[in-house]
């Protein structure tokens, strides 16, 4: 009898180990890939702009005032619509202003059919961090109570690159607790239009010449935010514009919302591929008579960044902004989503 009991125990133990082994090898479903671009809605805009790629889009964050028809058509296509809003220190410097602003967000969503608010507050003073956290908590509570969502745009500023513990105006822990989406702006590594602007001389991103984004910087940017925000909330937002610099005389910069320079004299020279940055660079003669340097954000660089999103297991990406995404970039994005 004792031997029989031992035999039964051994069989049960073996069965249990086998069951555990099967359970351990079960794979976790991979989250579906999603696209969350910003849309700048102007006089010529309509839902027809989204039609060719509407099946790829999970949400849009809209700057401007689209008609209710646009929002309704987005909803019919399964696309959520956030209203993009900005502000500064003065927008939230009293409890009364915070209460009024939060109320306006809820009213706007309810009156116009928005699914939520996308907060694009940038470069506020770190001194307002406590007040800003209070604002986020109140806005989140009110929007969620109304059945709406809250999104926030964040960056990876030079101060964070130098010291990840540097205080900025938003607290990542508060963003994690209050937001449904956190849109990481993986661009403006160098802010081309800001170079030479005296009032911005204190900002390192406004000095020097370089691309709006590159592979290694984007990787570090997303690793920083992945440590602080749940991966399912993160949107890896990519540029659909490049930095262009006039090199003759005093350096001046601008942003071109196209994959190539648009005002070259004669035939545009072939680009040079920067293998570490994973960016195409054009050196060319401009119509203004000066030598120019253009760092592209095109299909090739975007494809590399989409591969990075896979490597970091980040299924949500976006673009600033929708209208400047080239057909070739749409193609590599669709290929990535169907992969």
Q: What is the token pair recorded at 72? A: 């309704």
Q: How many domains does the chain have?
A: 1
Contacts of 54 by beta carbon, 8 Å cutoff, 6+ apart:
77, 79
Is residue 2 in a domain?
A: no
Per-residue pLDDT, 11:
41
For residues 226 and 196, the answer to whether their CB atoms sit within 8 Å is no
Structural domain of 113: 32-241+297-338
110-136 per-position pLDDT tens digit: 999 999 999 999 999 999 999 999 999
320-332 per-position pLDDT tens digit: 999 999 999 999 9
Q: What is the mean pLDDT of residues 226-252?
A: 97
Is residue 275 in a domain?
A: no
CA atoms of 213 and 129, how far apart (whole Å): 27
Per-residue pLDDT, 184:
98
Is residue 212 in a domain?
A: yes
Residue 1 has pLDDT above 60, yes or no: no
pLDDT band for position 158 (cuts 50, 70, 90): confident
**CATH number of the domain that residue 159 is part of:** 3.20.20.80
Is residue 333 in a domain?
A: yes
pLDDT band for position 231 (cuts 50, 70, 90): very high
248-287 per-position pLDDT tens digit: 999 999 999 999 999 999 999 999 999 999 999 999 999 9
Is residue 287 in a domain?
A: no
Q: For the chain, how long is the longest CA-to-CA vector?
A: 100
Is residue 8 in a domain?
A: no
Mean pLDDT of the chain: 92
19-46 per-position pLDDT tens digit: 444 444 455 556 799 999 999 999 999 9
Is residue 263 in a domain?
A: no
Per-residue pLDDT, 5:
45
168-227 per-position pLDDT tens digit: 999 999 999 999 999 999 999 999 999 989 999 888 889 889 999 999 999 999 999 999
Is residue 289 in a domain?
A: no
Which class for 57: exposed (0-12), middle (13-18), buried (19 or more C-beta within 10 A)?
A: buried
Measuring CA to CA, which residue among 127, 183, 125 is closest to residue 150?
183
């Amino acid at each position: 009898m004792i031997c029989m009991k031992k035999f039964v125990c051994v069989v049960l133990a073996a069965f249990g180990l086998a069951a555990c082994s099967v359970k351990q090898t079960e794979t976790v479903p991979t989250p579906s890939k999603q696209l969350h671009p910003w849309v700048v809605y102007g006089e010529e805009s309509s839902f027809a702009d989204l039609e060719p790629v509407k099946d790829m889009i999970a949400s849009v964050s809209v700057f401007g005032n689209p008609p209710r028809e646009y929002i309704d058509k987005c909803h019919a296509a399964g696309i959520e619509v956030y209203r993009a809003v900005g502000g500064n220190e003065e927008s939230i410097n009293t409890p009364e202003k915070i209460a009024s602003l939060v109320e306006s967000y809820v009213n706007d969503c309810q009156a116009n059919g928005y699914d939520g608010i996308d907060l694009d507050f940038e470069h506020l003073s770190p001194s307002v961090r406590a007040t800003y956290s209070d604002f986020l908590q109140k806005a989140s509570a009110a929007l969620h109570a109304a059945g709406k969502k809250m999104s926030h745009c964040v960056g990876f500023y030079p101060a964070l690159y130098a010291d990840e513990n540097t205080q900025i105006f938003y607290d990542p822990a508060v963003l994690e607790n209050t937001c449904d989406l956190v849109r990481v702006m993986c661009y403006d590594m160098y802010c081309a239009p800001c170079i030479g602007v005296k009032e911005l001389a204190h900002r390192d991103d406004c000095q020097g010449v370089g691309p709006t984004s590159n592979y290694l910087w984007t990787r570090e940017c997303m690793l920083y935010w992945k440590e602080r925000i749940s991966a399912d909330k993160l949107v890896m937002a990519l540029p659909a514009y490049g930095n262009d610099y006039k090199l003759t005389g005093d350096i001046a910069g601008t942003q071109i919302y196209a994959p190539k320079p648009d005002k070259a004299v004669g035939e545009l020279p072939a680009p040079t591929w920067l293998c570490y940055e994973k960016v195409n660079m054009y050196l060319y003669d401009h119509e203004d008579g000066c030598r120019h340097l253009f760092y592209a954000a095109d299909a090739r660089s975007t494809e590399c960044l989409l591969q990075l999103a896979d490597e970091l297991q980040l299924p949500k990406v976006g673009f600033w902004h929708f209208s400047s995404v080239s057909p070739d970039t749409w193609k590599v994005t669709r290929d990535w989503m169907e992969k």
